[in-house]
Amino acid sequence: MRPRGGGTRRRTRLTAVLGASLACASALTACAPASNANTVNLYYAPEENLQTVVDRCNAQSQGRYHIVYNKLPREADGQREQMVRRLAAQDPGMDVLGLDVTWTGEFAEANWIREWTGRNKEEAERGTLEGPLETARSGGKLYAAPKNTNVQLLWYRADLVDKPPATWDEMIAESQRLKREGKPYWISFSGAQFEGLFVHFNTLVESAGGRIVSADGKRAEIDAGAVRALEVLREFGRAGVTSPAMNNAKQDDVRMEFENGEAAFQLNWPFVYPSMQEDKPELAKKVEWARLPGVTPGVPSKSTIGGYNLAVSQYSTKPDLAFEAALCMRNPENQKFSAINDGVPPTIESVYQDPAMDAEYPMKETILEGLKDPGVRPVTPAAQNLSTVLTNLLAPVAAIDPPKTAEKMRTEVQNALDSKGVMP
């Protein structure tokens, strides 16, 4: 697999060089090595093999556009900060932007990204799963093309647990049983005060059939379902089934904790799978996966989806090329490539049927199941503020006082939505 990939890359690069020199020979004016009129600047998080995708698109475009991949910081906050600062200054140097699914509403409301219309829109929506599409819309309009999605799964030790627990209550009971029997029993969970905790909370709220924000995104709701989610979190925090570091753990800490072998369960994104294969192959053989546990018996969970969307900057001077380039980078073929090489789940349903996915993605059916019945974080310009105030009230989870915390949430969330008040 690997050497062949390298060969392809070398060949495409050679083609690109040849193409460039041909262009130079035919139009002597367009030979400046610096950014040309057809340069499309992509700003995207570091993704190991994205450069190959970019090279493939550049070769395919036959010189119409030339994508340059500019890497953003690794952490989501850092990515958002860099883009936001430059967009606020109306920087024309950015064309295609890689947005975390929670940022679409904010960027659209601030008028930083262009609406997708006409044929571009059709192309972006064709065959794309409804959940990821919902994260790319704001006010009924499409503002981005979903590049990859993500859905959390329950990873469990099949040597300790017969069948995956269907609800949180079952999972906690199983863990306590293992604890009594002196076996590994932790439920590894990212409980630090950050976006990842909000993802868990949102999943629980949606699974309980509740709401945090009204459908139009203007009012704080925090209904009975949300209170139920708070109760589940508190129970979990107090059941003595987590590692002591749970309240400070982010997703990668959770992955490492599970790999160390003291945990029986892990709630995390699929990136843990290839990592486990590499770091702890012995353990990986014993690990199975399932959809996240639900809240109500008999009702499957609605896992909050993550992932990245591609948007076109309002200040781009060549939007047509930018839309075209964005569509190329997320077409079915390239999504398949990224899924296999970088582990990011595709947004186009047909890609999952491809047999090439089987080897690297044994859990693709489970992922697809979760994706077809997803939980979506509220799409609002204030998404960042919303998540900040909520996680501040959620952490540490053992200290939640359901009715009281819900009451506080109503005021704080309303303030965040109105961009009033102070963010913690």
Partner 1 sequence: MVSTKDALPVAKAISEGKKAERRLGWLLCAPAALVMVAVTGWPILYAVWLSFQRFDLKYPDQREFVGLENYVTVLTNGYWWSAFWVTVLITVVSVAIEFVLGMGLALIMHRALVGRGLVRTVSLIPYGIVTVVAAFSWRYAWTPDTGYLANLFAPDSAPLTDRAGSLAIIILAEIWKTTPFMALLLMAGLALVPDDLLKAAAMDGAGPWQRFVKVMLPVMKPAILVALLFRTLDAFRVFDNIVVLTSGSQDTSSVSVLAYNNLIKGLNLGIGSTMSVLIFIAVALIAFLFVKLFGAAAPGGDDKGRP
Helix locations, 89-167, DSSP H: 104-109, 118-125, 130-135
> In the complex, what is the shortest distance from the CB of residue 289 to partner 1, in angstroms, rounded to a whole number?
25
CB nearer to partner 1: pick between 169 and 412: 412
The answer to the question of residue 188 lying near partner 1 (CB under 8 A) is no
The answer to whether the CB of 383 falls within 8 A of the CB of 80 is: no
14 binding partner 1? (CB under 8 A): no
Cα–Cα nearest to 311, from 296, 295, 327: 327
Binding residues for partner 1, total number by CB under 8 A: 32
> Residues 146, 306, 381, 393: which binds partner 1 (CB under 8 A)?
381
Determine contact, residues 253/239, Cβ cutoff 8 Å: no
Interaction between residue 4 and partner 1 (CB under 8 A): no
CB of 82 to partner 1, least distance (A): 11
Q: Which of 60, 260, 275, 296 binds partner 1 (CB under 8 A)?
A: 260
Q: Which of 161, 140, 150 is nearest to 47 (CA)?
A: 150
Amino acid at 273: Y
What is the distance between the alpha carbons of residues 301 and 319, in angstroms, rounded to a whole number?
A: 40
Query: Does the protein bind partner 1 through residue 75 (CB under 8 A)?
Result: no
Residue 84 binding partner 1, by CB under 8 A: yes
Q: Which is nearer to partner 1, 85 or 372 (CB)?
A: 85
Among residues 96, 192, 295, 305, the one that binds partner 1 under rule CB under 8 A: 192
Residue 414 CB, nearest approach to partner 1 (Å): 14
* Amino acid at residue number 103: W
The contact pattern for partner 1, residues 88-127, with x = CB under 8 A and - = no contact, is x-----------------x--xxx----------------
Side chain identity at 96, as an amino acid letter? V
Which residue in 185, 186, 233 sits closest to 208, CA to CA?
Answer: 233
Question: Which of these segments, 52-60, 214-222, 361-369, 378-386, binds partner 1 (CB under 8 A)?
Answer: 378-386
Interface residue with partner 1 among 77, 130, 365, 407 (CB under 8 A) is 77
Cβ closest to partner 1, residue 111 vs residue 353 = 111
The Cα-based distances of 124 to 159, 186, 300 in angstroms read 43, 42, 29
The correct pick among 248, 275, 277, 296 for binding partner 1 (CB under 8 A) is: 248
Nearer to partner 1, 29 or 111 (CB): 111
CA–CA distance, 57 with 60 (Å, rounded to integer): 5
Q: Is 380:213 a contact under the CB 8 Å cutoff?
A: yes
Q: How far is the CB of 281 from partner 1 (least distance, A)?
A: 21
Residue with tokens 């077809």: 372
Stretch of 200-208, 303-311, 352-360, 379-387 contacting partner 1, by CB under 8 A: 379-387
If one asks whether residue 138 binds partner 1 (CB under 8 A), the answer comes out as no
Site string for partner 1, 387-416 (x = CB under 8 A): -x------xx--------------------
Range 227-246, binding partner 1 (CB under 8 A): 243-246
Contact 330, 310 (CB under 8 A): yes
* Closer residue to partner 1 (CB): 81 or 130: 81
CA distances, 29 to each of 38, 39, 50, 105, 366 (Å): 13, 15, 31, 41, 54
| From 26-34, 150-158, 219-227, 381-389, span contacting partner 1 (CB under 8 A) | 381-389
Least Å distance, CB 377 to partner 1, is 16
> Six-digit token pair at 167?
């609800």
At 403, list the tokens: 């009715």
Rounded Cα–Cα distance for residues 214 and 104 (Å): 18
Quote the Cα angle for 37-41-43, to 5°. Answer: 170
Contacts of 136 (CB under 8 A, 6+ apart): 101, 104, 124, 142, 143, 144, 145, 146, 309
Q: Which is nearer to partner 1, 206 or 257 (CB)?
A: 257
- Residue 113's CB: how many other CB atoms inside 10 A? 27
- CB-nearer residue toward partner 1: 320 or 418: 418
Binding stretches for partner 1 (CB under 8 A): 77, 81, 84, 88, 106, 109-111, 192-194, 243-248, 257, 260, 381-382, 384-385, 388, 395-396, 419-424
